[in-house]
Amino acid sequence: MVLKTFGWSFAVTALGLVAAVLYGGWTAFGIVAILSVLEISLSFDNAVVNAGILKKMNAFWQKIFLTIGILIAVFGMRLVFPVLIVAVSAQLGPIEAVELALNDKDRYEELVTDAHPSIAAFGGMFLLMIFLDFIFTDREIKWLAWLERPLAKLGKVDMLSVCIALIVLLGTAMTFAVNAHQHGGGHANKAETVMLSGIAGLITYLIVGGLSSYFENKLEEKEEREHEEEEQARKSGKKVTAMAVGGKAAFFMFLYLEVLDASFSFDGVIGAFAITNDIVLMALGLGIGAMYVRSITVYLVRQGTLDDYVYLEHGAHYAIGALAIILLITIQYQIHELITGLIGVALIGWSFVSSVRRNRELAAQEALGEKAESHS
């Protein structure tokens, strides 16, 4: 199971590390290894959230996510995206941007760092909307019930998450963006850029997430019929198969996954510059990490981990909320990537321990019930 799920990741790791040695010796090998670990640690919460969405999709779209999705994640976000940032911010052509990345690494890093406010605003708002929509939804299973119950009641107010997101964006533009961090320790007023980028992130979420929800809702009647068929199958002793979303719904869920992955990758791409400004090593290291994130996602789906450990999804969404706030703060202040990664890992670890404790309590209650029945 492990080899089948992680086989491609192992192969890409071997090829990537060999390529690093050939490109820059053992120093490059070490840099690529560190970048890989950085990407995995920063994106583990991404894998958990991806798994929650991917398990709803049929086998065909799961394969699309693991093939085309990999190309987008590895080559698009980890290689093309940093170059695209430079091309747009410096008003250069794509070829000139690539030449700059390969031949003038210091200038390349400077341009990417100066573009960070717009990147952070876009990604921060997209991730913040994911977090807000999650905590304002009334769920049968609650992790931090003392917090989630009142928030679920507040969530009945229409467009509350959008209003809060816009208030946060306005506050960010009036505070952090006015004194945005720039390359070399300088600061600049990026309020207008942050506002525009943040609104673009919000609009992207509303369009992609809205279309995905629309087509999911259109399948409700079909799902209800399939539920009835499942009940009949159970009564007759037939095997029950899980429903999987396909067609337009799966397509927009796939788009949603890709935009989500892009938002998660922002901190990894920016954080990579703290380790190296070599675009080749960056692409190798972050690409290897992205492969493992995909493999972890598939492993969680195939093992049914989210069904067994019900609070994992909660922990991942709280990690998303933390990452969104951190991205907005980094518009003005530098926050070490280790802190970003540890916060996500800590929240997911906490939710995992809570899930294990819950499972033990349920098992103990079930055992007591069976014991009481046997005595009666």
* Tens-place pLDDT, residues 7-22: 888 888 999 999 999 9
The answer on pLDDT for 43 being more than 90 is: no
Judge whether 163 and 202 are in contact, CB under 8 Å.
no
* Neighbouring C-alpha atoms within 13 Å toward the C-beta of 232: 6
Confidence of residue 315 (pLDDT cuts 50, 70, 90): confident
Judge whether 36 and 13 are in contact, CB under 8 Å.
yes
At 63 the pLDDT is 78
Reduce the DSSP state of residue 35 to 3 states and report it: helix
The secondary structure element, H or E, covering residue 181 is strand 180-181
Give the list of residues 6+ apart from residue 24 with CB closer than 8 angstroms, or none: 31, 278, 281
Distance, in Å, from the CA atom of 126 to the CA atom of 263, rounded to the nearest integer, reads 7
The answer on pLDDT for 278 being more than 90 is: no
Confidence of residue 152 (pLDDT cuts 50, 70, 90): very high
Which of 34-48, 63-77, 314-328 has the highest mean predicted lDDT (pLDDT)?
314-328
- Report the predicted TM-score, pTM, of the whole model to 2 decimal places: 0.74
At 244 the pLDDT is 54
Report the mean per-residue pLDDT for the chain. Answer: 80
Single-letter code of the amino acid located at 164: I
Mean pLDDT computed over 265-281: 68
* Tens-place pLDDT, residues 329-346: 989 888 876 677 678 778
The answer on pLDDT for 160 being more than 90 is: yes
Name which residue leads in pLDDT, 292 or 135: 135
Strand 187-188 to 180-181 pairing? antiparallel
At 218 the pLDDT is 60
Confidence of residue 273 (pLDDT cuts 50, 70, 90): low
The answer on pLDDT for 247 being more than 70 is: no
The answer on pLDDT for 230 being more than 70 is: no
Name which residue leads in pLDDT, 292 or 21: 21
The answer on pLDDT for 220 being more than 60 is: no
